Amino acid sequence: MSAKLGVNVDHIATIREARKIREPDPVTAALIAELAGCHGITAHLREDKRHIQDRDIRLLRGTVTTKLNLKIAPTAEMLQFATNVQPDLVTLVSENRQEITTEGGLNVTAKIDELAKFVMTLKSNDIAVCVFIEPETEQVKAAKKIGADFVEFNTGKYAAACDLGSIQEVDREVSAIEDMTVLARKYGLRVLAGHGLNYRNVGAIAAIEGIEEINVGHSIVSRAVFVGMEKAVKEMLEAIRR
Ligand code: PXP
C-alpha cells in the first residue's frame, strides 16, 4: 500500500503574515487539500507565531475531516494549547527562533524524563503523540522509552543530498531511513517521514516499506502559487504513488 499524504499548510500562513491581513487563509487551503484527496493536515504553531496563529489551529480543529496533526515545541504553553484544542496527533519538534525552518530532529535522548511526562499528559487527553527525530538508533530507542506512538523521520539530510546530486549520500540517507523504519516498527512505533520533500525526491522515501505517511509543505504551497492548491496536492499524490 502506498504511503499517505499529510499536507502542511504553514506557508499559506507565511504569505498571509507577509501583510498581516486575512488572506490567503490556511484553513481554506486545508479544505481544498482534503477535497483533492490528501489524508491529513499538518500545521506548526511556532512559539514566535511567525506563520500559523492560534486561531488557525482552532478553526482547523473544527473543519478538518481527515486528521489534524499539530506540530509544537515541547513547552508548557504549547502543551496547554494542545490539550485544549485536541488535535488527532501532536508531533513534538525542536524549535529555535533564529532558524528559517526546522533544522533538525528533536534530541529525545537528552530529555527522556521531561518528554515522557509531556507524552503522558497528551496521551491521557486522548491525543496520539509523534516525535520528529533524526533516523538514528538512539533516537528511536528514546522515542519508544518516552511512550510515543509515532516517529516522524527527518528527511532534511536526504533532501539536501538530492540537491547536491550526491548519489552516495542519497543512498546513505535512504538506507538510514529504511533501517530505522524497520527498528521503529519492531518496537511497535508507527512511522512517518518529512521535511524538504518535493515532487522530484519524494518517490524514494514514499517507496520505503513501513512508512505510513509523508508530510509535505513548502513544495506543495510553492507549486500551488502557479497551478492552484487542488492540482498541486493531486500531483503530489501521484508522485507518492509512482
Ligand atoms: N515535518 C515536520 C516535523 C516539519 O517541521 C515540517 C516543516 O515545518 C515538515 C514536515 C514539512 O516540511 P516542508 O515544508 O519542507 O515540506
- Cα 155 to averaged position of ligand 1 atoms, centre (Å): 9
Q: What percent of the chain has pLDDT over 90?
A: 95
Q: What percent of the chain has pLDDT over 70?
A: 100
Q: What is the pLDDT of residue 176?
A: 98
- Cα 72 to averaged position of ligand 1 atoms, centre (Å): 12
CATH topology of domain 4-241: TIM Barrel (3.20.20)
3-state secondary structure of 136: coil
Query: Does the pLDDT of residue 212 top 80, yes or no?
Result: yes
- Cα 150 to averaged position of ligand 1 atoms, centre (Å): 16
Task: Out of 44, 151, 233, give the residue to mutate to test ligand 1, the one with the largest number of ligand atoms within 8 Å of its CB.
Answer: 44
Cα–Cα distance for residue pair 216/38, rounded to 1 Å: 11
- Residue bearing the CA closest to ligand 1, atom 9: 195
Does ligand 1 have an atom closer than 6 angstroms to the CB of 216? yes
Q: What is the pLDDT of residue 100?
A: 74
Identify the H or E element spanning 190.
strand 190-194
Question: Per-residue pLDDT averaged across 128-156, rounded?
Answer: 98
Residue 86: which pLDDT band, with cuts at 50, 70 and 90? very high
Does ligand 1 have an atom closer than 6 angstroms to the CB of 92? no
Question: Per-residue pLDDT averaged across 214-242, rounded?
Answer: 97
Does ligand 1 have an atom closer than 6 angstroms to the CB of 190? no
Question: Per-residue pLDDT averaged across 27-55, rounded?
Answer: 97
Query: Does the pLDDT of residue 25 top 90, yes or no?
Result: yes
The dihedrals phi and psi of 66, each to the nearest 5 degrees, come to -85, -90
CB atoms within 10 A of CB 185: 17
Identify the H or E element spanning 183.
helix 167-186
Average pLDDT of the residues of the chain = 96
Per-residue pLDDT of 154-210, as tens digits, reads 999 999 999 999 999 999 999 999 999 999 999 999 999 999 999 999 999 999 999
Q: What is the pLDDT of residue 1?
A: 76
Nearest to 40 by CA among 224, 173, 220, 174: 220
Query: Does the pLDDT of residue 75 top 80, yes or no?
Result: yes
DSSP character at residue 216: E
Query: Does the pLDDT of residue 96 top 80, yes or no?
Result: no
